[in-house]
Amino acid sequence: MNINKFGGASLKDAKRIENVVEIVKTQIKSPGVIVVSAIGKTTNALEKVHKAYVEGNSQGAFEILGQIKNDHYKLCQELFSEKELEKIIHDLNDTFVEIEWILEEELSDGPNFIYDQIISIGELVSSKILAARLNQETVTATWLDARDVIRTDNTYRNASIEWKETKDLVNQFIPNICAQSDFCVTQGFIGGTSENFTTTLGREGSDFTAAILANSLNADGVTVWKDVPGVMNADPNLMKDAQLLKNISYNEALAMTYYGAKVIHPKTIKPLMQSSIPLRVKSFVNPEAEGTYVGALESELKYPSILVQEPNNILLKITSKDNSFIRERHLAEIFTLMNESGLVLKLDQNKPEYLTLCVGDPYSNIEKFDKDASANFNVEITEPVDLITVRHGDEADILSQLIGKKILHKIIAQDTIQYVTVN
Ligand code: ASP
Ligand code: MG
């Protein structure tokens, strides 16, 4: 059995959805699982609904939601015949109404809880549309609510997987579905707690869902369909002569995603590696092309230099107010505070003068961290900074890529060189 994942870009309009239907019909063996993200930029739009609501602007929230609903209905008009249209619109209405119920009430739950209840609707509706559309073809598709199988803790917005329960549930539901229909269509990015509340796994988490399902089912492989030819040795938008990497090891992929390569979600590789399940990254624009194979390789390949550039990070220089070096107890306190603020560590280096950290701040909590940490530490913050990581590169080559940037920090470790830069 294989898991195929289609992201928002591959579903962004009716033409793209028809393209996905074509890929499913011609490129994907049944039975299999299809995991989808929300359509196009729906998740960003739903975040705006959430923001307006938690800021007390329910009317604004309703207006943005109205636009999202309209976009989905318009799409359905292009995809479905009159008879089918009524059914799917009814189904979508029943799903969107969950948000309307929230918006009608005064805010009483925590914002992260509300976030997950609102944002998850994007995946619920996209998967319903794709399942219904596939059923108009010669293939059969059964829609599965991912919240029934992806069991998580209740860390809303960034839930952790309860692996044992998830494995049991996945194996209870999916093989049965696949015995009866060609494809099981489900949502990426969302899960459910044991109390049946909806959670999300962190932005762009749909790839991770595909890996969780693959690991749980001991699948033959995972394919993620992207708008790029596969995994490249640099972002093709930033480097003109970026080249496709045809084969990379799990370890290389882990390193690339850890340092910020956007093509695969960072949590995706480990569950696949653990069960030796290969990952293919393919282009939905050119589905016949091979793309990239990520898996166990006989020996590490000779890679070209691989450059991963991640903007919008934060550089921290930390000293302790007790005039001592930064020692283990300081590190324990700093990392605890980082964890509480959801900061994501990208680079760390401790020196006698100060501790340098480069972090991502997905939840915009840097001010909170600064306030909490300033009880015992002096924190110097520089933002935004780029984190540029080069693997297998020689320094001269790399410096030519950094022309015009100011280098604030540099670390060299074996085959990895990292720079923190500002423009
Ligand atoms: N729709 C979610 C997001 O945009 C999850 C995903 O795309 O993987 O973050
Ligand atoms: Mg996405």
pLDDT of residue 298: 73
Q: Whose CA is nearest to atom 7 of ligand 1?
A: 204
Q: Provide the edge-to-edge strand list for the sheet that holds 344-350.
A: 344-350, 355-360, 306-320, 377-391, 416-422, 406-413
- The pLDDT of residue 297 is 82
Cα(287) to centroid of ligand 2, in Å? 19
Neighbouring residues of the ion ligand 2, judged by CB less than 5 Å: 7-8, 37
Handedness of CA 412, 415, 419, 423 (dihedral sign): positive
- The owner of tokens 């196009």 is 40
Q: Structure pTM?
A: 0.92
Q: How far does residue 38's CA lie from ligand 1's centre (Å)?
A: 6
pLDDT tens column, 382-399 = 999 999 999 998 777 777
State residue 238's pLDDT score. 72
Q: How far is the CA of 187 from the centre of ligand 1 (A)?
A: 10
Contact, 289 vs 347, CB < 8 A?
A: no
Specify the residue with its C-alpha closest to ligand 1, atom 2.
204
pLDDT tens digit sequence for 36-81: 999 999 999 999 999 999 999 999 999 999 999 999 999 999 999 9
The rounded Å distance from CA 210 to ligand 1 centre is 12
Q: Which residue has the tokens 């609102």?
A: 118
Shortest-distance Cα residue to atom 5 of ligand 1: 204
How much distance in Å is there from the Cα of 339 to the middle of ligand 2? 24
Q: What is the pLDDT of residues 244-275, one digit of tens each?
A: 999 999 999 999 998 888 889 989 999 999 99
Contact 334, 321 (CB under 8 A): no
Measured by CA distance, the residue closest to atom 6 of ligand 1 is 204
Ligand 1 contacts CB of residue 192 (under 6 A):
no
What's the CA-to-centroid distance between 125 and ligand 2, angstroms? 14
| Residue ranges of domains in the chain, CATH in brackets | 2-295 (3.40.1160.10), 306-422 (3.30.2130.10)
* Local mean pLDDT, 10-residue blocks, the chain (423 residues): 97 98 96 98 98 97 98 98 95 98 94 97 98 96 98 96 98 98 98 98 96 98 96 83 93 91 91 97 97 87 88 97 93 97 94 95 95 97 95 78 88 91 92
Q: Is the CB of 122 under 6 A from ligand 1?
A: yes
**Pocket lining: 12 vs ligand 1, CB cutoff 6 Å:** no
